[in-house]
Structure 1
Amino acid sequence: MNKTTIILAEDEPALGQIIKESLETRNFDVLLCENGEKAFEVYKAESPELLVLDVMMPKKDGFTLAKDIRAIDDTIPIIFLTAKSQTQDVVEGFTIGGNDYLKKPFSMEELIVRINNLLNRTKLQKTSDILKIGNFTFNFPKQLLQYNNEDAVQLTHREAHLLFHLIKNKNQVLDRSLILNKLWGSDDFFNARSMDVFITKLRKKLIKDETIQIINVRGFGYKLIC
């Protein structure tokens, strides 16, 4: 069985080794890096399928590293590990391209579940879905949104997956808790705030077609109307 390669960037040696050994017992190949600069070098030299990044690291912090990687790769899944729990920190992590956010301390079982969920979503992304919504064409695998014959707009990984589920449930309520657990890993307050930010971004990207609306169904979730 082929192993999934993961880069783990963690500057606490003991914690890094524990995570590495735990993941390796689950058939992951883990490349442990002690700082952000080293992780970026290893990323460019190897072909990892997922990144687990500590936010607070020397030389290059996790957020800066994620920005550098997203400049050249907008599809690889990224999980942030951090002791920071302020709402603005969580939102920043998702805004710059993170796919999940795990607060320390955490259980290894929870990390493994989140890793597997992201890897499964990545496989879904590689399907050949080309979706139509109003005057927009949405290329889900390439994360491109095109209005009529204009140049396509590149969506982030999370924007693309959120739009995919909204379109698949067009004119129906997309359950808030369900989609938070599916795309963010949990339906806590911080993730809910982050999803609100992404909904606002999608509304702005779809504004050219007046027949399309994403409405907030209070207490339930969101509905994409077309």
Structure 2
Amino acid sequence: MYAETPTRRWTLRVIAPVLAGVVGLLALFLSPWSDSARAHGSIVDPASRNYGCWERWGHDHLNPAMQQQDPMCWQAFQANPNTMWNWMSLFRENLAGNFRGAIPDGKLCSAGDAQGGLASSLDRPGRWTTTDVGSNFSVHLYDTASHGADYFQVYVTKQGFDPTTDALGWDDLELVEQTGSYPPASDITFDVQAPGRSGHHIVYTIWQASHLDQTYFICSDVNFT
């Protein structure tokens, strides 16, 4: 039988905590629920496409009922569940305000495939679940890292645009609100006005975070009542 020596016991005492630390770090970076993965934000009301899918189906994304009840979330989860689990990371860096040059028509909702192609399912036209709003409504950012904002730009699709059949382009949008700056906070809410609309539209929010030249591009589906 092998006898454990004092040197071996000492080595195990040193190595074991190191190995535990490495495993812990791997779990932190690989888990979609880790604090590091969540250290950004999105529009939660009216819910962004990927946040809404995560909120409704994140703990039940294998439920076959999703295909009939929420078909656009279903196709997004089929493409890659991380698009929803990592709902807070639709950002681009160092664009210096050149948003149209960096993000082509048809790719606005994925921020030009900001997650390495994982989020392209968010660009697909279809029956996305909507939030009912009036011509005056509030936009609520939830930011787990409290980046603050240099500004928000909020666009709404023009009357006649059909999100169920049309891919979103820059010329489909009308700017309805440009805010000033906001200090760091986990929740930022502001009001916008978008009169003269009815039915299904897309609210497109550009959030310029304050900590870096980091810009978020967020599609929220609404139903003007």
Larger helix proportion of the pair: 1
Smaller-chain TM-score bracket: under 0.3
Larger radius of gyration: 2
Which has the bigger relative contact order, CA under 8 A and spacing at least 6? 2
Task: Provide TM-score, normalisation by structure 1.
Answer: 0.23
Task: Provide TM-score, normalisation by structure 2.
Answer: 0.24
